Structure 1
Amino acid sequence: MRFLGNFLTNSSRRHAAAILSAAAFAGASSIGFAAPALAHDAVLSSQPEQNETIKQLPHEIILNFSGEPQQGFNTISVSRDGNVLFRGEPRAKGQELILDVPDNVRSEPGEYTVGYQITSSDGHATRGGYQFTVDNPDSSAAAEGSDDAKADTTATSTEGEQGESNSSVPSWLLPVGGIVVIAGALVLAIKRYRDIKKD
């Protein structure tokens, strides 16, 4: 009986140790796999910077990540006041992703949002975004000045058209009109003279 009890005790101990070893290995394995999954690439710096106020749009948007994003399936978009202005696949330069700003995009005042979706160095899809502001008082004044200039130009052209319409009377009608006036006055004078002579 004592031998059987010792055998069961030793067997139980070995079984418990095996269970603990398996649990420890499983825990270590889960930690080892979970760590890379949490190591998504994050934006370290950007141009323009987050919450920065600038006078006009730059020629390119630059995002600097903590890792080197994988090539392909990377997209950067820029919107103003909720409206998407442009989007495209950026070119990669090490840990930087660079997207050129199209020439036809006007640099107007407002709040801009940069959104990105990339494939991180660990192979996982990562997305995010940030805001910056364009505030250029000179552009508003220039826009108002251009509107005033357009209004003045329109008024001047209208006056010119009216002047041209008034001066569109043929020049040869002027002397004819003068002759008609003189003839009429002469007829009236002769008639009055005859009336006086009758009296």
Structure 2
Amino acid sequence: MALSLRSLFRAVTALAAALLLMVGMAPQALAHDSVVGGSVKEGEVLDSFPREITLEFSGIPKEGFITFALTNTDTGEVIFTEEPAADGRELKIETPEGVDPGPGNYQVGFQITSSDGHATRGSITFEVAGASAANDAASASAQPADSGSATADPELSGALKFIIAVGGVLALLAVVAMLFMKFRKNEEEG
């Protein structure tokens, strides 16, 4: 029985090690570069149309096939398309002279070649409220801030999933070790 128990323990240990390795490599293998910051944030309400739009990515996009397109989502009109200037992880476009679409809902669509070599598409939406935004901001600052609400960080959810997966593997290893010790004790007694 000791031989089969040892074999079982080795198999479970090898399986747990393989799972831990897969979980550890999964974020790199599955993650294309994504927007992690910039001058325009998802869902942000601006007072005026930005003269410059910068998006910061999680990795350094590769050169070639990089395009930004600014669209008015209220009308579906593509306002302009431009190849952004690259500075490390940041890609920047400038609003062309004479372009000032005014208040409305907008989307910065992007197509990049991620640092992992894969083509990646995505978008960031924002709103330009114009003069009404200043009035809304003034009335919002007069009201007390809601300290009980928090927005979820998308990076946190990925990290949290990783921690939970590693915790699960470690818990599995602990159960196997306890079973192994119990069987070994029973074998010695019997």
TM-score by length of 1: 0.52
1:105 to 91, 99, 106: 99
SS in 1 for 2:63: coil
Moved more, 83-92 or 65-74: 65-74
Cα offset for 1:57?
4.3
User: Is 2:21 the counterpart of 1:26?
Assistant: no
Partner of 1:16 in structure 2?
A: 8
State the structure with more CA Rg: 1
Separation of aligned partners in 2, 1:27 and 1:133: 47
Trace 1:24-173 onto structure 2 (pairs within 5 A).
Answer: 24-37=16-29, 39-50=31-42, 51-58=44-51, 60-80=52-72, 81=74, 82-103=76-97, 105-124=99-118, 125=120, 127-133=122-128, 135=130
TM-score by length of 2: 0.54
- Structure with more helix by fraction: 1
Note the residue ranges of structure 2 that are not aligned, 5 or more in a row.
133-190
Equivalent position amino acid for 2:56 in 1: N
Equivalent position amino acid for 2:99 in 1: V
Cα offset for 1:38?
5.3
Separation of aligned partners in 1, 2:110 and 2:71: 12
Highest RCO, 1 vs 2 (Cα 8 Å, sep ≥ 6): 2
Note the residue ranges of structure 1 that are not aligned, 5 or more in a row.
1-8, 138-199
Equivalent position amino acid for 2:84 in 1: P
Conserved 8 A contact 2:49-2:128: no
Equivalent position amino acid for 1:19 in 2: A
% identical equivalent positions: 38
